[in-house]
Structure 1
Amino acid sequence: MWISFLACIILCAIVLYVPGYLLFRNLAFSTPRSIAFAPIASTAIISIVAIVNEKIGIFSAGSTVFGPTLVLCFIPYLIAKLIGHAKTTDRATSWDWKFLACYAAFGILICVYMFIKPLDGADSFYCRADNATHLNMVRYFVESGQWSSIGATTGTIAFIPGSAGFYPSAWHDLAALVCTLASSDPIVAINATNAVICGLVYPTSMWAFLTCLFPKSKLHIAVGAVASMSVACFPWTFLIKGPLVSNLLSFALLPAVLALFMHYIKAGIGVHWKGTLFSGILAVAALALSQPNGLFCAYIFAAAYITHRSMKRFSRNKVLAFALSAVVFIILWFVLLQLPFFAEVVNFPNTGGLTLTPVESFIASVTFEFYVGQPPQTILAIVAFVGCVVAIKKHRVWLIFPAVYMVIAYGVSRCTDEYLRNVLCGFWYNDPWRLADAAAIFLVPLITMGLSAIIVAIAKSYDERKASKRPNATHKQSSLRVVTAVLLVVFTCYNFFPSYHNLVTHKREWSPFGFMRDRIAREYSTTRDHVYSTKEKDFVNRAMEMIPDGSLVINSPEDGSLFAYGVNGINTYFRHPTTGSLTDDANMIREGLDTIAESEEVRRAVKDVSAEYVLLLDQGVPYDEGKWLLQTTEDSLKRWDGINRITDETPGFETVLSDGDMRLYKITGTDDGGASGE
């Protein structure tokens, strides 16, 4: 299984970097920068090809998605020749290569430590309802060849046809593509995809961002390799909250998108307008088809950057330039808030994170306590504060705004559900964890500046002391390098160390990264008792051996069987715990399947959907004794009573497989007008 995992990682890296590299290289970017930008183009084009394939009736698979993507990425070579875009002055240095390699190596190291090593198997998965959707959708994409973000579904026939709208499925496209190319288990491909995004895409994306912000400072770029992964919440909370894998991809691409944006602003949009337009379309498509709230993160950054540029451009009227820019961006923000298209997102009733008082929320925000139960990162917060001071001194105040906005929005989202929450947090589903992860990204430049300033101060102090003893010595450069190396090693050991001995309580306590690592290990554990346990997974595998391939199996999703299709591949009827858009047949089945021997309507519904079997994983288990989904309540469980009431004695069902509280029944109640299966 781990060999398959490694193969999936290699293929995922090829899929994300080769096509996009060719495209950006042909747009005359340097080789290192083309590598960093590559996932933007690859993500966008793969997703667009998937949409086009479905529209024209082509079965999406490795050859029909990756093949066209590769071909399309060669075309800009001709375009570059025609429009003369190759005249760009973007040139790589040996330091670009060294630093890019450092970012990638450090990212891979942290990813192995935080995500891959804690997995007790390459096919480990997180048992949360959101993840069932992701697992089911990836498997359905692979089996159906329908990968489009427009009307993306998990393939269940229990819902009203056409009820699925736009669903950003770029991540699912990528996982499905890796799965088909590697001929692997979907979960192995999913874990490999997440590993590549966390350990390679995000660090190289951040390298592009920081080199754009600090093009003349090798110190800042060196420090950024460590700073980019230093905030404990990102990308790791996206693996245990939801998991929010679509947001994971969108936010990992975000720094590179911002770097691309700044590159063309600096190079001159008027001169390079065709390249700007083409790259801009790809960037917008990549974020929109991954998770659109990445675009609003980009909007916050763009507002600060463009305001800064306008003040610099109109230096004699800075106040007026600031006021006009701010007013325009604020008005546009409120206009977007009022659009019906965003209403469901902006007004999303996300109350899960509303657990703090205003004072507690303020403390959590300023100490970087960005997840429930996560220990604060107080030292890192102080470093970021030093970075803010440096930014003010260096006249780069605009860099503070995106981070401060997200930190404030995070604080607001945790302590109030008033209108202010919708205004500041609405585009992120009013979700504190998405806002915290966005804050983590925008804090990286400030942490980089703060840590660099501390290094320079220590090196300067050391040089002054040395100079006072040896007036003729000149060791400034060598001391800076030594201090940088030593401080980065010390900072890395302190910041990423998993636990420490509390001198007050005399107990071993988790560090922020240790806490996140432990959460990942527990949530992905196959030995822990989850709602869909290893025992239940094995039972489903045995059940599949006893029924014809493709047989439709009615299930009670809240007992964990909503995972059965995505994990095992069994053709379950109910793949979601929601009931809002179910068909009439589905509602009839969930409410009265146990009456199939007496009810003609139930028999007709079962015949209409061609169901043949029933799967129960917690038969007869009371609510207060069972292991359920986080969202499950005693009332929600009653929605499936028609299925849950089935026992070995219920007329119309024949026991095929039995193990403890797990059952597989053959539906016999549709035979001969409702013959009993007893």
Structure 2
Amino acid sequence: MSADWLGQIPAFLVACALLTLPGLPSALLLRLRGVTALGGAIVLSLASVGAATLLAPVLGLRWSLLPVLIAAAAITVVAAALWFVRRSAVQPLGGGAGRSVWLGVGVGALGWILILIVGMSGAGHPSQLFDGLFHLNAVEFVMENGDASPFHMTMVMPGVASTFYPTLWHALVSLVVPFSSGIVPATNVMTIAAIAVVWPVALATLTNVLFARYRAAAAWAPLVAFGFSVFPLGFLNWGVLYPNLIGTLQIPLLLAFVVLACRPGLTWGQRTGLVLTAIAAMGATALGHPSALLGAIALLVPFAVWGAWRVAKAGSTRTRVLVVIAVAVATVALVAVWRLANVTTHEWLPGSTLGAALGEVAFLSPVGRATGLLVGPLAFVGIWTVAKSRRWWILGSYGVAIILFLVSTSLSILGLRSALVGIWYDDTTRVAALLGVLGVPLAALGAAVVWSWIRTQWKQRRSVRAVAVVVLGVLLAATHLSALVNDLRYMRNVSFRFDAHSQGLSADEAELFAEASSLLGPDALVLGDPLTGAALLYAYTGHDVVFPHVTGRYDADALLLARSLNTASTEVCSSIDRLGVTHVLDFGDRQLYENHYVTYNGLHDLAGSPILTEVASVGDSAALYQVTGCP
């Protein structure tokens, strides 16, 4: 491990603490045990952070750890009240398989830490993808304004008082920054912590809840997850999708606590606590990204239908009528919300045939990734096991994920496709992640069944057969390495590459940021083409930029300068004066996202401009100019 990663250990510990400690007392007071307790702690911790982003402005507090502690304390008080009224009558929930589950979670966490460190290469390497500009700058926006409210994320809409954008990710990273060396390393540390802590625990918790009879399945879930390549690594190589990442990581926990809350035989105190935990999970997931919450709700539809059917079947005529009305109202509400949340752009079109998409589902290797040969067959074993127990809603939920993926990747009727998957921008990568939410637990169940068979064969002295299956499993597991290597290669060569050949910000340009920080006054406003990485001056130094992201609601003067600054016309000087632009960055012609519909052609070839004077430069293409020639 390189020295720059070692220097981030305090920040990593803080990130892990943020993800687990605020909600841990409440989870224990709710009598959750084993991996389910840690899953509950994560849910309530993220809910505490999410609630704090909403409460802090109302209470007049700047964004910091204090609002998080206040929210966590309030949740703890509720959990303590529930513990007090039922302290002598309730058995703990969700113990799991003991040490084997913790071993699986630990190996999963360690594996993701190592994988991500190798992929990112350096702690200070920024994401070089399109949305990285927004997310890195949004953290600075939160810190500068002391406000992490999702209703106040107006960074790319100057002059707008309120809007909505999910800010849970940015709130978390901003709390880690003081313990790190900047926004970029804090973002990378939080990425590692979120994936290594939340994903293995979430999968183990859901698997434990769904397949309690097969206690070893929860231990296998974090390990099987390494074979599902589209998530989480795919979200770092596409986008970059930080909010979707923190939202999707929570989906298994949300499902687990909804199922637990509906378990028969609970006392009213137990059920109340679990219902509140499930509601907290919904809120935290929505503040991660609303599409993650809607995806979770879609996966829960078969469970809801199954529950409604059981209630109606066992109830009176009056009960059946009420169930029918409730189902009708819920259906109308879901369709209405699904339509309102649609953000389709038709930017991403179907990219596969139905046959190819079905093959990707069968092997759980979606979105054109190298096909691994173990996880898919294990999922089939899990499906067969569930089918034998007639727990059809689990297969129905997995079927929902499959249908959404097939629609996204292969349906050519674009209107229908967008109506179904438009909440994910018609993006197959985001939809494909839902396959892993239930596909991985099913594969873990399959692994537990196969492992049990192997142990039985060994005990019955059929060692040759047992060893042969183990060797076959190892060989099939090795086929998943290709997809993992491809993801890591893309991370190192594109997504997090940080040198003279980076597709976005280069090391020379970041060095110029450091030099510019001492040259720019507190009232400086800097212009630059965000597609070249110039926008990241804001994240690196805190100095204001005209374009903190490529897209946004910018005024006419800003757009005129984007198109025409290099003409040095009278109109250009008038716009510079109205905006208050003092400096300009020119990082050459290399862009991280070419042919975008927003034009920034006027922010290039500035060396000979009569209205600009170069004040600093690094390398061949990174230059900082001061506006000096406008009257």
TM-score w.r.t. the length of structure 1 is 0.83
For 2:477 and 2:392, locate their aligned partners in 1 and report how far apart those are by CA, in whole Å. 26
Among the aligned pairs, what percent are the same residue? 20
For residue 314 of structure 1, report the CA deviation from its aligned partner: 6.2
Cα gap change, 1:223/1:52 in structure 2, threshold over 3 Å: closer, same or farther? closer
Q: 1:606 aligns with which of 573, 576, 581?
A: 576
Candidates 253, 257, 261, aligned match of 1:256: 253
CA deviations on 1:166-198 (whole Å, 9 max, x unpaired) are 111111111111113x15311111111111111
Aligned counterparts, 1:450-489, within 5 A:
450-463=446-459
Range with greater deviation from structure 2 (43-52 or 344-353): 344-353
Match of 1:524 among 496, 499, 509: 496
Alpha carbons 1:337, 1:423 under 8 Å: kept: no
CA distance in structure 2 between the aligned counterparts of 1:387 and 1:370, rounded to whole angstroms: 19
Structure 1 residues 417, 121: closer, same or farther in 2, change over 3 A?
farther
Q: Which position in structure 2 is the counterpart of 1:643?
A: 603
Out of 384-393 and 559-568, give the one that drifted further. Answer: 559-568
Q: Contact 2:373 / 2:476 at 8 angstroms: preserved in 1?
A: no
How far apart are residue 344 of structure 1 and its match?
6.4
Q: Pick from 61, 72, 75 the counterpart of residue 74 of structure 2.
A: 72
Matches for 1:82-481 after TM superposition, within 5 Å: 83-84=85-86, 87-90=89-92, 96-154=97-155, 159-162=157-160, 165-180=163-178, 182-267=179-264, 271-272=268-269, 274-312=272-310, 332-333=330-331, 335-339=333-337, 343=339, 345-352=341-348, 354-372=350-368, 374-415=369-410, 416-463=412-459
Larger radius of gyration, structure 1 or 2?
A: 1
Query: For the residues of structure 1 that align with 2:232 and 2:542, how far apart are their CA atoms?
Result: 29
Take 1:120 and 1:322, find their aligned partners in 2: how far apart are those partners? 59
State the shift of 1:299 in Å: 1.7
Q: Which residue of 2 aligns with 1:57?
A: 60
Which of 14, 17, 33 is equivalent to 1:14? 17
Cα distance in 2 for partners of 1:483, 1:194 equals 39
Tell me the distance in 1 between the aligned counterparts of 2:365 and 2:227.
13
Q: Give per-residue Cα distances to partners, 1:5-45, cap 9 Å, x unaligned.
A: 21111111111111111112222323643222112111112
Q: 1:114 to 1:489 in 2, by over 3 A?
A: farther
SS in 2 for 1:118: helix
Structure 2 CA distance for aligned equivalents of residues 561 and 406 of structure 1:
39
The residue aligned with 2:561 is 589
- With over 3 angstroms needed to count, the CA separation of the structure-2 counterparts of 1:575 and 1:164, relative to structure 1, is farther
Tell me the secondary structure at the aligned position of residue 583 of structure 2.
Answer: strand
Q: Secondary structure at the match of 1:615?
A: strand
Tell me the distance in 2 between the aligned counterparts of 1:86 and 1:489.
50
Q: Residues 423, 401 of structure 1: CA spacing in aligned structure 2 closer, same or farther, 3 A cutoff? A: farther
Q: Is the 8 A contact 1:168 1:290 kept in 2?
A: yes
Q: Is the 8 A contact 1:100 1:204 kept in 2?
A: no
- Rounded to whole Å, the distance in 2 between the matches of 1:435 and 1:86 is 45
Pair 417,347 (structure 1): closer, same or farther in 2 beyond 3 Å: farther
Where 1:148 maps in the other structure, the secondary structure is coil
Deviation at 1:408, TM superposition (A): 2.5
User: Shift of the alpha carbon at 1:149?
Assistant: 0.8
Q: Are the aligned partners of 1:356 and 1:414 in contact in 2 as well (CA < 8 Å)?
A: yes
Q: Deviations over 1:584-640 (max 9, x none)?
A: 3323432443455x52x543432333221111111xx4xxxxx3222x21x747x22
Counterpart of 1:564 (choices 521, 537, 544) is 537
Residues 116/263 of structure 1: CA separation in 2 closer, same or farther (3 Å cut): same
**Residues 489 and 664 of structure 1, relative CA distance in 2, 3 Å threshold:** farther
- 1:663 counterpart SS class: strand
In the superposition, the TM-score normalised over structure 2's length comes to: 0.89
- AA of the residue aligned to 1:559: T
Aligned to 1:551, which of 516, 524, 527?
524
Structure 2 unmatched ranges of 5 or more? none
Can you list the C-alpha shifts for 1:84-108, whole angstroms capped at 9, x where unaligned? Answer: 3774311575x64413422321222
Preserved contact between residue 21 and residue 41 of structure 2 (Cα < 8 Å):
yes
Q: Assess, with a 3 A threshold, how the Cα gap between structure 1 residues 312 and 498 changes in structure 2: closer, same or farther.
A: closer
Q: Does 1:662 align with 2:622?
A: yes
Per-residue Cα deviation, 1:258-290 (whole angstroms, up to 9, x for no partner) = 221122211557723532443233122111111
Shift of 1:401: 1.8
Is the 2:313–2:320 Cα contact (8 Å) retained in structure 1?
no
Give the count of matched residue pairs. Answer: 620
C-alpha distance in 2, partners of 1:491/1:516?
A: 23
Give deviations 1:121-175, integer Å, cap 9, x for gaps.
Answer: 1111221121111100112212321111112133x5xx34227621111111111
| Partner SS, residue 203 of structure 1 | helix
SS at the partner of 2:545?
coil
